[in-house]
Structure 1
C-alpha cells in the first residue's frame, strides 16, 4: 500500500521532492474541514499510482513554505515530476477530474 509520509521541515520536503521522480504532496491546515474530508478520498485515488511517492504537509507548521509556494488556501494538492510542479489543485477539488489528470501524467512518466 502506498502511504503518505508526514513531512515536517523544509529540508525534508525538498529532499522528498528531489529524491523521487514522481512525488505528490497533500498540503493541509489544522481545523480545516475540507482538508480532513478530502484527504481519505485522495488517499484512495493515489493508491492507483504506486510509483508516486506521497507526502503530507501541515502548512500551519511551515508558514515560510506557504509564501514560497504561493499557498493561500487549503487543501492544496501538488504533483511534482522530476522536481518540477506539474499539477496543482486547491480547495474544492473534483476527485474524478483530479484522478484523470494524475493518470494522464502518470502514463507519460511512470
Structure 2
C-alpha cells in the first residue's frame, strides 16, 4: 500500500510537488464518505508504481487548494509530473480506466 503524505499547508503542497517528479495529489474532505472509500483503493493501486508519491490534502484545512487546482468537488485526484497536471479524476473514478492511463504514462517516463 502506498505511503500517504499528509499535506496541511499550501507551502507543503508546493514543496511536495517540487521534491517529487511523480506526484499524485488526493484532495478530499473528512465528511465525504466517497472520499474514504476511494482513498483505500487509490493507495492500493499506487502501490504498483514505486516512483509515484501520494500526497493527501484536506480541503477543509487547506482552503487555498481549491483555487490553485480548480477544485469544485471532492474527491479530486491529480497526477503531476514535474509540477504539470497529466491526469485529473474526480468523484466518480473508474479505476480500470485510471490504471490504463497510469500504465501508459508511467511506462513512457520510466523506459
Give TM class, smaller chain.
over 0.9
Q: How many residues align?
A: 110
Question: How far does residue 88 in structure 1 lie from its aligned partner after superposition?
Answer: 0.5
Give the alignment's TM-score, normalised by structure 1: 0.95
Aligned twin of 1:101? 101
- In structure 1, stretches of 5+ residues that fail to align are none
In structure 1, the residue matched to 2:34 is 34
2:43 and 2:68 map into 1 onto residues whose CA distance is 25
Match of 1:60 in 2: 60
- For structure 2, the residue ranges without an aligned partner over 5 or more in a row are none
Give the ranges of 4+ consecutive aligned residues of structure 1 lying more than 6 Å apart after TM superposition.
Answer: none
What corresponds to 1:81 in structure 2?
A: 81
- Report the RMSD for the aligned CA atoms in angstroms: 1.0
Q: 1:23-50: per-residue Cα shift (whole Å, max 9, x none)?
A: 1011111210110111111111000000
Q: Quote how far apart the aligned CAs of 1:104 are.
A: 0.8
